[in-house]
A and B are shown apart, each in its own frame.
Chain A
Amino acid sequence: MYALQALGALTLLALAVAAFTPAPNAAVRRLAAPPALEQADAIVVLGSGVRAGGDLTDSSLRRLLHGVSLYHRGLAPVLVVSGPVNRVGVVEARVRAALAGALGVPAGAIVTVERALTTQEEAREVAAALRSRAARRVLVVSNSLHLVRGVGVFEHAGFVALAAPAAEISDTDDTPEQRLELTRYVLRELLARLYYRAAGYY
């Protein structure tokens, strides 16, 4: 019983640190990939989900807008949009391609990757999709925490990968709810990095 009481007290303490101190903000700053916006052969927007109704999720939309913005800044001549089919048959990559087209990206500059379900599969599928274009240098768009792993996986697949973080995670968030959300992002990403390292994906 004492062990349970101690665990309960530790859990409460951890929750208090996560919600009421800047520790999660510091963790995000420590673990995030800094932007490396340089000229590249392609911009790769990693998938993040599409809702059953056909709308992109918030993070998917943020990533796409960032990718389109980088394209219009002339950082690369090709925009790769990734995202598989969801449970009702909507393909995220196609929704993104249509939106990118509506935002002024020419159809000939858009490449869709529709079958990849994980970051590691995205790197593999993007490599296959860009083979004919001989693209070596890619700007990878995702959230800043994910990009350490994302860039690593793309480097492992043979690319020179540059981080292009979209505005999904803010290390200045300071309400308890926002800090708990940051904690969730950090813990999730740390576990994913452990798994990817163990699996030899990067």
Chain B
Amino acid sequence: MDADRLVVYAAIAATSGAALVVGARARGLPWAALRRAGVRGLEVIGLAALFFAANIVAGTAFIIGMRLVAGVFISVYTMDDLVLPVLSAAQALVFHLWQGRADR
């Protein structure tokens, strides 16, 4: 890998390290909670994947329905939009936070 490409990963490693220091020292967060947070993170990512798949299915079904029923053409490529994974992640985060509140 070219050295210049390492800059991105170095930046991420540096800010992750800084966040660990701030969390552990400045805010006194327990290390044991970090593992649980990682597991929760995986749940959010899993939820995001589910929302993403559901959005693709719902959008494609709508497009095909519009073609068949209303005779209106919408390209299936409309679903190939980068905003879709971003909004799916937002949906997952909100849903997960909502679930967390309800579990308290």
Measured CB to CB, the residues of A under 8 A from B are 1, 3-12, 117-118, 175, 184, 188, 192, 195
- The docked-state distance in angstroms from the alpha carbon of A3 to that of B49 is 12
CB distance from A126 to the nearest CB of B (A): 18
The interface residues of chain A lying within 8 Å CB-to-CB of B48 are 11
CB distance from B58 to the nearest CB of A (A): 15
B33-77 to A contact mask, C-beta < 8 Å, 1/0: 000000101111111111000000000000000000000010111
Measured CB to CB, the residues of B under 8 A from A are 5, 39, 41-50, 73, 75-77, 80
- The docked-state distance in angstroms from the alpha carbon of A12 to that of B44 is 11
Known contacts: A184-B80, A188-B80. The answer to whether A7 contacts B46 by CB under 8 A is yes
Closest to B48 in A: A11
| Complex A-B: 14 CB contacts under 8 Å | A1-B43, A3-B46, A5-B39, A5-B43, A8-B42, A8-B43, A8-B49, A9-B46, A11-B45, A11-B48, A11-B49, A12-B42, A184-B80, A192-B76
CB distance from A175 to the nearest CB of B (A): 7
The interface residues of chain A lying within 8 Å CB-to-CB of B5 are 175
Closest to A5 in B: B42
Majority secondary structure, A binding face: helix
Interface contact tally, CB-CB below 8 A: 42
- The docked-state distance in angstroms from the alpha carbon of A62 to that of B65 is 33
- The docked-state distance in angstroms from the alpha carbon of A178 to that of B5 is 13
- The docked-state distance in angstroms from the alpha carbon of A8 to that of B76 is 27
Complex A-B, nearest 3 residue pairs according to Cβ-Cβ distance, in ascending order:
A8-B42, A8-B46, A7-B46
Known contacts: A5-B39, A117-B73, A175-B5. The answer to whether A11 contacts B80 by CB under 8 A is no
Contact A188 B77 (CB under 8 A): yes
The interface residues of chain A lying within 8 Å CB-to-CB of B49 are 7-8, 10-11
- The docked-state distance in angstroms from the alpha carbon of A95 to that of B45 is 43
The interface residues of chain B lying within 8 Å CB-to-CB of A117 are 73, 75
Given contacts A5-B43, A8-B43, A10-B49, 19 further A-B contacts (CB under 8 A): A5-B46, A6-B46, A7-B46, A7-B49, A7-B50, A8-B41, A8-B42, A8-B44, A8-B46, A8-B47, A11-B48, A12-B45, A117-B73, A118-B75, A184-B80, A188-B77, A188-B80, A192-B76, A195-B76
Known contacts: A9-B42, A12-B42, A117-B73. The answer to whether A4 contacts B47 by CB under 8 A is yes
Closest to B73 in A: A117
CB distance from A107 to the nearest CB of B (A): 30
- The docked-state distance in angstroms from the alpha carbon of A188 to that of B5 is 28
The interface residues of chain A lying within 8 Å CB-to-CB of B45 are 7-8, 11-12
- The docked-state distance in angstroms from the alpha carbon of A165 to that of B75 is 22
Closest to B80 in A: A188
The interface residues of chain B lying within 8 Å CB-to-CB of A195 are 76
CB distance from A59 to the nearest CB of B (A): 11
- The docked-state distance in angstroms from the alpha carbon of A10 to that of B47 is 12
